Amino acid sequence: MKRGAALGHVLLYAMALMALPVSGWYWSSVADKAILVAGLFVLPPLVAPHPDLYDVAKLVHTWTAWFCGALVGAHLLVALKHHFVDKDEILKGMLPALKR
């Protein structure tokens, strides 16, 4: 279970923090659309504009987003399973300590 949890966390973080943003950046680059980051600076394009790759880049980004959402949903379900079925302290351990 610990190995599965570790793999799930690595996969979730890799998808949400690397694959999803990079695929969106690639899609925007292919479409020749600038990405303004927090109103501070514009990201340079990853590749030259290429209208023929637009649909593929959009598909990759869309499926990456759906997969990331599925991972978040699975994470939630497993946390609830630990709390309600296994009745262990895993979910409680994720909550911040209450100050008294």
The per-residue pLDDT for 15 is 96
Give a yes or no: residue 99 inside a domain. no
CB 47 within 8 A of CB 30: yes
Between these two residues, 88 and 31, which has the higher pLDDT value? Answer: 31
User: What is the tens place of the pLDDT at every residue in 4-22?
Assistant: 889 999 999 999 999 999 9
User: What is the tens place of the pLDDT at every residue in 37-76?
Assistant: 999 999 999 999 999 999 999 999 999 999 999 999 999 9
Q: Distance between the two ends of the chain, CA-based, in angstroms?
A: 34
User: Rounded CA gap, 61 and 38, in Å?
Assistant: 21
Assigned token pair, 14: 């890799």
pLDDT reading at 91 higher than 90: no
Q: Which domain holds residue 31?
A: 2-94
Assigned token pair, 28: 């925007």
Give a yes or no: residue 66 inside a domain. yes
Give a yes or no: residue 31 inside a domain. yes
Q: Report the domain count for the chain.
A: 1
Give a yes or no: residue 100 inside a domain. no
The per-residue pLDDT for 92 is 81
The answer for residues whose C-beta is within 8 angstroms of residue 61's C-beta and 6 or more apart is 20, 23, 24, 26, 27
Give a yes or no: residue 87 inside a domain. yes
